[in-house]
């Protein structure tokens, strides 16, 4: 802006207001430049982290460092794979992931997605994964498939049904009895809910480790009563899964010391 224009603006009735508007525009432009600069810094940081993670994954897949060759796989008695429902349609990726787990020595896996997509693909998965079998008795002692892998398929509907059946069981067997005895206190404890879930056959096994594949860091509604002592790790999108990242996640879990409280 020239000095002559400044002079005309100051001497015009709207001069100070025009200068204020110009300053506001300059301020907004400065804020936008700062935001774009910060966005560039953050994006560059995550880009570098992504490259480093990918390189590390390939190195682990190639056997470097050597510590990842020695896994205490016995600590992972029961593993759960939680997949975002849209990505669960990628059956080939799921089969590949299960084959990796078999090669690592994992013998029992729970497959979960909220909408039950994996349950719909159950026949294909059981057919394509070598020596795979379906786990039926969820409240029975875990029977390991020594030749292959045992799979459990669940969805969010299973959890809702389990809660409804357990609530009905408690209504019939606890609250009605307490009303008949004259005790009107209706306090529900966690242990009573656990017993009710087991009584209706919906208790289920607690996974030692949950690996979440999806765009967000959450368990997508996995039954809460089955993850009280479970370690949860986010693995990123299923389409970008890497063998090295899987190996690293299981290795880190086997190296963690766990203290269980009451």
pLDDT surpasses 70 at 5: no
Per the domain annotation, does 81 fall within a domain?
A: yes
Q: Three-state DSSP class for 155? A: coil
CA distance 186 to 175: 7
Is pLDDT above 60 for 12? Answer: no
Residue located via tokens 């100070």: 16
Span 231-258, pLDDT tens digits: 999 999 999 899 999 999 999 998 877 6
Mean pLDDT in residue range 206-221: 90
Residue 7 is part of which domain span? Answer: 3-61
Q: Is the predicted pLDDT of residue 109 greater than 60, yes or no?
A: yes
Q: Could you tell me if 137 and 225 lie in one domain?
A: yes
Compute the average pLDDT of residues 175-195.
Answer: 60
171: pLDDT strictly greater than 80 = no
For residues 206 and 77, membership in a common domain is answered with yes
Do 105 and 221 sit in the same domain of this protein? yes
Per-residue confidence (pLDDT) for residue 185, from 0 to 100: 56
Model confidence at 41: pLDDT above 80: yes
d(Cα 6, Cα 31) in Å, to the nearest integer? 25
Residue 79 has pLDDT above 50, yes or no: yes
**116 shares its domain with 24:** no
User: CA geometry: angle at 162 spanning 158 and 166, to 5°?
Assistant: 175
The tokens describing 133, both together, are: 């079998």
Q: Are residues 84 and 211 in the same domain?
A: yes
Can you give the pLDDT at residue 11? 53
Residue 66 lies in a domain: no
Residue 10 is predicted with a pLDDT of 47
Structure tokens at 113: 């997605």
- Same-domain pairing of 47 and 119: no
Q: Contact, 250 vs 71, CB < 8 A?
A: yes
Same domain for 55 and 77, yes or no, is: no
The top-scoring range by mean pLDDT among 110-114, 156-160, 204-208 is: 110-114
Tell me, yes or no, whether 96 lies in a domain.
yes
- Number of domains into which the chain is organized: 2
The most confident of 3-17, 162-176, 231-245, by mean pLDDT = 231-245
pLDDT at position 216 over 80? yes
pLDDT reading at 100 higher than 70? yes
- What is the pLDDT of the chain when averaged over all its residues? 80
Q: Which of 165-179, 185-199, 220-234 holds the top average pLDDT?
A: 220-234
What pLDDT sits at residue 9?
Answer: 47
The per-residue pLDDT for 98 is: 95
Average pLDDT over residues 51-55: 81
Q: What is the CA radius of gyration of the chain?
A: 28
Tens digits of residue pLDDT in 117-147: 999 999 999 999 988 999 876 555 555 656 7
């Amino acid at each position: 802006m020239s000095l002559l224009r400044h002079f005309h603006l100051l001497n015009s009735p709207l001069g100070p207001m025009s200068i204020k508007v110009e300053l506001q525009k300059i301020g907004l432009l400065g804020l936008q430049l700062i935001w774009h600069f910060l966005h560039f810094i953050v994006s560059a940081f995550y880009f570098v982290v992504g490259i480093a993670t990918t390189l590390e994954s390939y190195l682990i897949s190639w056997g470097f460092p050597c510590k990842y060759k020695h896994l205490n796989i016995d600590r992972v008695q029961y593993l759960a794979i939680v997949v975002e429902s849209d990505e669960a349609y990628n059956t080939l990726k799921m089969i590949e992931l299960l084959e990796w787990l078999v090669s690592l020595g994992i013998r029992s896996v729970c497959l979960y997605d909220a909408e039950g997509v994996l349950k719909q693909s159950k026949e294909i998965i059981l057919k394509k994964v070598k020596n795979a079998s379906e786990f039926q008795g969820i409240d029975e002692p875990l029977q390991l498939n020594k030749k292959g892998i045992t799979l459990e398929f669940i969805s969010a509907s299973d959890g809702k049904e389990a809660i409804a059946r357990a609530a009905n069981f408690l209504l019939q067997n606890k609250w009605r009895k307490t009303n008949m005895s004259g005790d009107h206190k209706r306090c529900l404890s966690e242990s009573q809910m656990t017993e009710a879930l087991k009584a209706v056959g919906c208790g289920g096994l607690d996974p030692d480790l949950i690996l979440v594949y999806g765009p967000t860091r959450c368990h997508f509604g996995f039954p809460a009563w089955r993850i009280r002592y479970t370690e949860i790790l986010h693995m990123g999108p299923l389409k970008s899964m890497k063998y090295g990242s899987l190996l690293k996640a299981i290795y880190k879990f086997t190296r963690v010391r766990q203290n269980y409280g009451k």
